[in-house]
Amino acid sequence: MMIRLAKKEDIPQLIKMRWDFTIEHDESKKIASFLEFETECRQFLEEALQGNQWFIWVAEEQNKILSHIYIELIRKVPRPGRITFPFAYMTNVYTLKEYRNKGIGGKLLSTINDWSKQSNYEFIMVWPSDDSISFYKKHGYTHCIEPMEYNPHLV
């Protein structure tokens, strides 16, 4: 198994995995147009892979992506008197069903944890599902105070 950053050739697999991940957690989305989703997701992934804001990590075996984790780098406004390091937002953590509970996601997450230390990121933030809390705790993550949010579409 190889753990690496995603590349352009991975886009079709990443699109399919994102679709499957969404449907697995919300079957009502099956009625959505795959073609529309594919177009939007392809554009996002092409831009993400060319930029330096998103880092998409994959675990692959024989050219098949088994697991992925998306990291968005968030730069902070500098403060006087201290060096300001960015933090990372982790999202879209997914392992194919048939490869779960085999340590693949854990190896991928450990790689990202090491990378974040080497890169001097201040912290990694993730909103885990109830089912994944123990997975993150096992890899050194702790609960923090929940952030607040504003949703302009609900006001």
pLDDT digits (tens, 9 = 90+) for 77-136: 998 998 999 999 999 999 999 999 999 999 999 999 999 999 999 999 999 988 899 999
Q: How far apart are CA 1 and CA 16, in angstroms?
A: 20
Tell me the per-residue pLDDT of 30-46, one tens digit each, with 9 for 90 and over. 888 999 999 999 999 99
Whether 59 has a pLDDT exceeding 90, the answer reads yes
Question: What is the CB-side half-sphere exposure of residue 99 using CA atoms within 13 A?
Answer: 18
Whether 150 has a pLDDT exceeding 90, the answer reads no
Q: What's the average model confidence in pLDDT over 12-21?
A: 97
Q: Which domains are seen in the chain, by residue range? A: 2-138 (3.40.630.30)
Q: State whether residue 11 is helix, strand or coil.
A: helix
Angle between helices 11-25 and 34-50 (to 10 degrees): 130
Q: What is the pLDDT of residue 155?
A: 73
Q: How confident is the model at residue 28 (pLDDT cuts 50, 70, 90)?
A: confident
Q: What's the average model confidence in pLDDT over 149-155?
A: 82
The total of other beta-carbon atoms located within 10 Å of residue 5's CB is 13
Q: Are strands 87-95 and 64-74 parallel, antiparallel or unpaired?
A: antiparallel
Q: How confident is the model at residue 154 (pLDDT cuts 50, 70, 90)?
A: confident
φ, ψ of residue 112 to 5 degrees: the values are: -65, -40
The total of other beta-carbon atoms located within 10 Å of residue 95's CB is 21
Element (H or E) spanning 38, and its range? Answer: helix 34-50
Q: What is the pLDDT of residue 143?
A: 87
Q: How confident is the model at residue 76 (pLDDT cuts 50, 70, 90)?
A: very high
Q: How confident is the model at residue 26 (pLDDT cuts 50, 70, 90)?
A: confident
Tracing tokens 């993150």 back to the chain, one arrives at: 136
